[in-house]
Amino acid sequence: MRFKRLTPASLFLNGLVVVCTLILTFPLVWIVMMSLKQQAEVMTLPPRFVFTPTFENFRVLFDAAQAGATSYGTIKVDFLTPVANSVVISLGAVLVSLIAGVPAGYVLARRDIPRKEDIAFFILGFRFAPALLVVLPLFSVFQTVGLYDTYLGMIWVYQVVTLPMIIWLSRSYIEDIPKDIEEAAAMDGAKPFRVVWHIVLPLLKPGLIGASLLIFLLAWHNFALGLILSSTKAPVTVALLKLLNPGVQFYPVMAAGLVVTMIVPIVLIILGQRHLERGLTFGAVK
């Protein structure tokens, strides 16, 4: 087997890639190690990289009935409930965003409406607006109309995060589909709804699957909206905050919670890697 001779420049670039990979993966490896350590081992200096792993932290995380009998003192998290809350809220937010966002993206891509570029940038502006700017005025409104700490209210408010993204992504995908295909179908007598349903949506399918995965990850990792507008329906990101109790150190249990929180996005990325790549590059090459 012949090996290509590496130049100093390529050696430097390869070394730079290795360094960046180590920097990015070190926090993840450290969190996984913390989740498998005892409390005393976490606080030792210098840190131990060789230890006897334990799954006690994961048992404490999910076994709320016996958590009080552990060496961690009184800690009752019942982490399965916030995981289920995050799944329901994130999936609901994705579904509502697809139903409302794809038609909006189609109109912005195909119809000649006044000041549509201004409208599109106004919608995108919500994606970059501070979450507290939206949440604080909604807090009293949600309590008044009964949407506080409900799945419906959380799915609705999560549209601030997910809807602008799906509108912009679907608009970009639709603009990359040749308009001649729709015009040819219209000349054959197809109604606008049939053109969109039978021609546009099948062509959009790869991009929409990738976009759905992206906005699901955005919803899954959101923290501010759940912190202000939920209590019993709090997502996993808010549940982790309960383990940051001043004076009581639950760091290994919190690390176990972070590992569980990362499992769902990692599994989705692995399973949907092909769709994510196609969604991100959809329309890049015409």
121-130, 148-157, 206-215, 225-234: least confidently modelled range = 121-130
Phi, psi (5° rounding) for residue 225? -65, -45
Mean pLDDT on 222-229: 84
The yes-or-no verdict on residue 1 having pLDDT over 60 is no
* Distances in whole angstroms, Cα of residue 222 to Cα of each of 112, 218, 266: 35, 6, 16
The reported pLDDT for the residue numbered 7 is 80
Where do the domains of the chain lie, and which CATH numbers do they carry?
79-281 (1.10.3720.10)
Name the β-bridge partners of 244: 249
Q: What's the average model confidence in pLDDT over 79-94? A: 90
- The confidence band for 97, taking pLDDT boundaries of 50, 70 and 90, is very high
pLDDT 10s digits, 11-53:
888 889 999 989 988 888 888 888 888 877 877 777 777 778 8
Residue 111, CA distances (Å) to 33, 97, 178, 200, 217 in order: 54, 20, 14, 15, 30
Strand, coil or helix: 244: strand
Q: The pTM is what?
A: 0.80
Given a cut of 70, whether residue 3 has pLDDT beyond it is no
* Structure confidence by residue, pLDDT tens digits, 169-204: 888 888 888 888 888 888 877 788 888 888 888 888
CB 210 within 8 A of CB 85: no
Evaluate whether 102 touches 204 at the Cβ level (below 8 Å). yes
Query: In terms of C-beta density within 10 A (0-12 exposed, 13-18 middle, 19 or more buried), how is residue 191 classed?
Result: exposed
Beta-carbon count within 10 A of 15 CB:
10
Query: Distance between CA 204 and CA 32 in Å, rounded?
Result: 38
pLDDT at 162 > cutoff 80: yes
Q: Are 134 and 163 in contact (CB under 8 A)?
A: no
pLDDT in tens, 121-144: 888 777 777 777 777 777 888 888
**Residue 75 pLDDT level (bands cut at 50, 70, 90):** low
Task: Give the residue ranges of DSSP H helices in the chain.
Answer: 8-35, 39-42, 56-62, 80-110, 116-128, 131-145, 151-157, 159-175, 179-187, 192-195, 201-220, 224-229, 236-241, 251-271, 273-281
pLDDT for residue 77: 65
